[in-house]
Amino acid sequence: MTDSLRVAMIGYGFMGAAHSVGWRQAPRVYDLPLDVEMAVIVGRNQDAVAEAAAHWGWSESATDWREVIARDDIDIVDIVTPGDSHAEIAIAALEAGKHVLCEKPLANTVEEAERMLAAAQRAGERGQRAVVGFTYRRVPAVTFLRDLIAQGVVGNVQQVRAAYRQDWLVDPQMPLAWRLQKEHAGSGALGDIGAHIIDMVQFVTGQAVASVSGTMDTIVTQRPLLGSGSGLSGTAAEGFGEVTVDDVAIFTGRLEGGALASFEATRFATGRKNGLTVEVSGDKGALYFDLEDLNALQFYDRTAPDDRQGFTKILVTEASHPYLSAWWPAGHMLGYEHGFVHQAKDLVEGIAAGTDPHPTFAEGLSVQRVLAAVEQSSANDSIWVRVDAPATR
Ligand code: SOE
């Protein structure tokens, strides 16, 4: 391994922790063409970000992202902040000559995402890479699901069912957080977890969502404020703040190949902790993925003899399966964090090869357009809304 890529990560919350594990493990598990140095972690609170640097193994901590992205000794800017700062930071980093990894969803609006894509296209001409952090694509079973569909094992895709169910907001005493305020998050369950299943359906089927009809709902409209200094707008005098995003988004999508896809994104599925499921049904069979059983796929083969029909479990842990060659022997399971290791690996390899790893900012924009179409539909009695022409992939 020769030169190193020096990473600056902007943000240090839950995603900051997951990305830190990815940067740390990727060059140790995979034989990468370039090494990775976890150079700087950036956050507004000096003490907190210094503690995060020490905890997660970053060489330095800083509080001014503009100063960090201007440094000549930084190659990659990894953005794990709330969506309201993605556009400003990503565009500045691209214009400063850096490669960019931006957490999902790409932005809080289509307009921001379009400006980010334009900046990424200009930067691409200078050899810079730009990637969106839809890491569930990089769960080996999901990449394998995409491969099996492309091989035709389910035949023509006739229907898709996707859901992402969590329950962390069922408690009305759960305080107001940035994910519950439109000015910070753009939307609620729709953009936070609905974005994942929109991207996943487009990824595994290879088809864009062409039109949608949907309904969004906010179940708990006010929540306790964490208190002054929490950085949240709201009327501290009453101790409560308005929830200005959706708690639940349920929508139907028409894929460009004609199949109908159903989507459910909710933070009120009591008992479901991180329940992302996708089922793809075709005339030759069906495939099913469940994130809470992420090392496996369920496969139904209609072409099998009648007396042997049934969903079978494919354990996606063989060395021949995507990403697995560098990990453990068959049957030794991977976890949630491995998608972040694979993300770091793919970006480093893309930089070395001069190719944009997926999902590109164009794919991030296509998800943003579906999000906007669902919001438009929900605001207009769930009418069908065409998704603007999908960006070039
Ligand atoms: C919260 O809903 C959250 O952390 C999302 O923001 C992530 O994208 C998802 O992977 C897990 O749940």
Amino acid symbol at 266: T
Query: What is the distance in A from the centroid of ligand 1 to the CA of 284?
Result: 33
Q: Is 52 exposed, middle or buried (0-12, 13-18, 19+ CB in 10 A)?
A: buried
User: Using CA atoms, how far apart are residues 105 and 192, in angstroms rounded to an integer?
Assistant: 7
Note the pLDDT of residue 388. 78
Closest Cα to atom 6, ligand 1: which residue?
Answer: 192
For the domain made up of 137-332+357-386, give the CATH fold.
Answer: Dihydrodipicolinate Reductase; domain 2 (3.30.360)
- Ligand 1 atom nearest the C-alpha of 267 is 2
Q: Which of 14, 137, 266 to mutate to test the pocket of ligand 1 (most atoms within 8 A of CB)?
A: 14
Atom of ligand 1 nearest to the CA of 135: 10
- In three state form, how does the secondary structure of the chain look? CCCEEEEEEECCCHHHHHHHHHHHHHHHHCCCCCEEEEEEEECCCHHHHHHHHHHHCCCEEECCHHHHHCCCCCCEEEECCCHHHHHHHHHHHHHCCCEEEEECCCCCCHHHHHHHHHHHHHHHCCCCCEEEECHHHHCHHHHHHHHHHHCCCCCCEEEEEEEEECCCCCCCCCCCCHHHCHHHHCCCHHHHHHHHHHHHHHHHHCCCEEEEEEEEECCCCEEECCCCCCCCCCEHHHCEEECCCCCEEEEEEEECCCCEEEEEEECCCCCCCCEEEEEEEECCEEEEEEHHHCCEEEEEECCCCHHHCCCEEEECCCCCCCCHHHCCCCCCCCCCCHHHHHHHHHHHHHHHHCCCCCCCHHHHHHHHHHHHHHHHHHCCCCCCEECCCCCCC
Contact 89, 22 (CB under 8 A): no
Query: For each of the chain's 393 residues, which pLDDT tens digit applies?
Result: 458 999 999 999 999 999 999 999 999 999 999 999 999 999 999 999 999 999 999 999 999 999 999 999 999 999 999 999 999 999 999 999 999 999 999 999 999 999 999 999 999 999 999 999 999 999 999 999 999 999 999 999 999 999 999 999 999 999 999 999 999 999 999 999 999 999 999 999 999 999 999 999 999 999 999 765 444 555 444 589 999 999 999 999 999 999 999 999 999 999 999 999 999 999 999 999 999 999 999 999 999 999 999 999 999 999 999 999 999 999 999 999 999 999 999 999 999 999 999 999 999 999 999 999 999 999 999 999 999 765 454
C-alpha 93 – ligand 1 centre gap (Å): 24
> Quick one: 4-135 is in which CATH superfamily?
NAD(P)-binding Rossmann-like Domain (3.40.50.720)
> Of the candidates 14, 77, 93, 72, which has an alpha carbon nearest to the alpha carbon of residue 42?
77
What pTM was computed for the model? 0.95
CA distance 80 to 83: 9
C-alpha 149/C-alpha 312 separation (Å) is: 16
- Closest atom of ligand 1 to CA, residue 136: 10
How many A from CA of 306 to the centre of ligand 1? 41
Query: Which residues of the chain form CATH 3.30.360.10?
Result: 137-332+357-386
Contact residues of ligand 1, CB 6 A cut-off: 14, 166, 192-193, 274
Residue 104 alpha carbon, nearest atom of ligand 1? 8
Please report the pLDDT score of residue 385 as a whole number.
Answer: 97
pLDDT on residue 393: 44
Residue nearest to atom 9 of ligand 1 (CA): 193
User: How far is ligand 1, taken at its centre, from the CA of residue 207, in Å?
Assistant: 24
Q: Which atom of ligand 1 is nearest to the CA of 103?
A: 8
Delimit the CATH 3.40.50.720 region(s) of the chain: 4-135
